[in-house]
Amino acid sequence: MSPSSEQYAQIAALFTTAEDAAVQTTVELLIPAHLPVQGGLWLVPYAGRAAGSGNAMLVRMHDETIDFASIGNMPVELESCRSIETILNNLDTPVSHWIVQPPTDGDAVSLLHGDPDVITLLSGADQAAVVGAYRLLKSFVTAAKDQDSLPPIRIVIVGAEERAANDASSRIVQTAKHQLGLHVEVGHPLPAMGSQSKVQSQCSIPRSCNLIDLLSRLRTSSTQEDVLETTQRVLPEFPVEQIEEQATPHIAEESEQEVLVEDAVVEKVIASEATLSSYVDGLLSIKPRCPGHTDIELALDSEGNVHVLAHAESFRETTIVAAWVNKHRDLISMACGGIEMSASGEVIQHFFTDDAVSVAELHGTGVKLHLLTEVQTGGKCVPFSTPLN
């Protein structure tokens, strides 16, 4: 009896069917830069968005411990794990995306020696965050043997509405390009944390290795015995925004003037955006403004309370703005991407002045008073602010 067509097909399949592809793993370094209030809370929402419909493992390194959190649709039980080995052994499904926050004392050299596939900076949108992001980028360029050896670097702005996020990322990208010759990608901003978490399981174990060792073990864990020793690196398709080229005055750099050039760049970045809320710890500036009083700023604290910030000469106008805020809380929240705001409560008022004596009568009225002036440091005038009450 001659073989049937079905049998021929089965035999042909033995020679033509491709073997299962090796697991493609991405190792991403996630570096919190100058973040808004409760900065550490932004890592989980970012990891959840990065996981998408797949899976990811968020790893946060501290001085004495390492936190692991399973993100997305990866069924794994971590609560009983007490070591990296037990965690890796519990993984029935290979991790496609490791997101690692390095320890706070990690320098640029050690971060690059870990050989990550991509580096992501999480940053706020105020002027301090922009300057901090630039300095981080410069440290990577300085630490690298050459820029071609650098992994892709991405900036993601969190805790700011779209317009402020786009403005901040654009300034970071343009400054990095013109001053460092560095291309920086821009991920979609993350304006709010959201109310739902994609964390499936988590644990904290004693830290027994450094960053380089950890990244090596994570990458090796996804290598199967019947495939090549090294896992193929493929970057996930992150949403990336295009930043239009802007006309930026060229600053000629000379080797002997490198420090002066950096100071000029940082000073320019700082001057490009100076919000009053940036002088108050724990406040997140928001863009909505009261019609007719657009010079008076609004901000939120970690508990969702609304703050009104103005110069002392606008004392009377802040009462109008506070009343407008109380009437339109829901609209303001919607305009900020659904960021959580306190549904009630007193609007907290802040006044800034360069003459402390002129606001002496406001002490004891419940408003927050701040001195805002310029001081000389390093031969330059820089803004300085301190609370008065």
Two structure tokens written together for 120: 């992501």
Two structure tokens written together for 21: 């592809």
Q: Does residue 9 lie within any of the structural domains?
A: no
331-385: pLDDT as tens digits: 888 877 667 788 778 899 999 998 888 888 888 888 999 998 887 766 667 778 8
Q: Cα 2 to chain center, whole Å?
A: 66
Domain final position from 220, 241, 262? 241
Domain final position from 241, 260, 286? 241
40 torsion bin: left (phi>0), alpha (psi -120 to 50), beta (else):
alpha
- Residues 337 and 10: their CA atoms lie apart, in Å, by 55
Q: Does residue 146 lie within any of the structural domains?
A: yes
Same domain, 76 and 224: yes
Domain final position from 221, 241, 261? 241
Regions in the chain scoring below 70 on pLDDT:
1-23, 36-39, 194-196, 222-274, 337-338, 377-380
Same domain, 317 and 375: yes
Same domain, 310 and 371: yes
Q: Does residue 264 lie within any of the structural domains?
A: no
Q: Does residue 280 lie within any of the structural domains?
A: yes
The packing angle between helices 162-175 and 127-143, to 10°, is 30
pTM for the full model? 0.57
Same domain, 193 and 308: no
Same domain, 168 and 278: no
Contact 218, 99 (CB under 8 A): no
- Residues 162 and 170: their CA atoms lie apart, in Å, by 12
Q: Does residue 84 lie within any of the structural domains?
A: yes
257: which residues sit within 8 A by CB, 6+ positions away? none
Kindly report the CATH number assigned to the domain that includes residue 225: 3.40.50
Q: What is the pLDDT of residue 347?
A: 92
Q: Is 375 helix (H, G, I), strand (E, B) or coil?
A: strand
Same domain, 74 and 182: yes
Two structure tokens written together for 51: 């996981």
214: which residues sit within 8 A by CB, 6+ positions away? 59, 61, 66, 84, 100, 114
Domains held by the chain: number: 2
Beta partners for 61? Answer: 66
Alpha helical stretches, state H, 178-328: 211-221, 258-272, 315-327
Instruction: Please state the length of the chain.
Output: 389
Q: Is 246 helix (H, G, I), strand (E, B) or coil?
A: coil
Same domain, 118 and 208: yes
Q: Does residue 153 lie within any of the structural domains?
A: yes
Same domain, 204 and 281: no
Same domain, 102 and 200: yes
Mean pLDDT for the chain?
Answer: 79
Q: Does residue 291 lie within any of the structural domains?
A: yes
Q: Cα 178 to chain center, whole Å?
A: 22
- Residue 332 lies in domain: 274-387
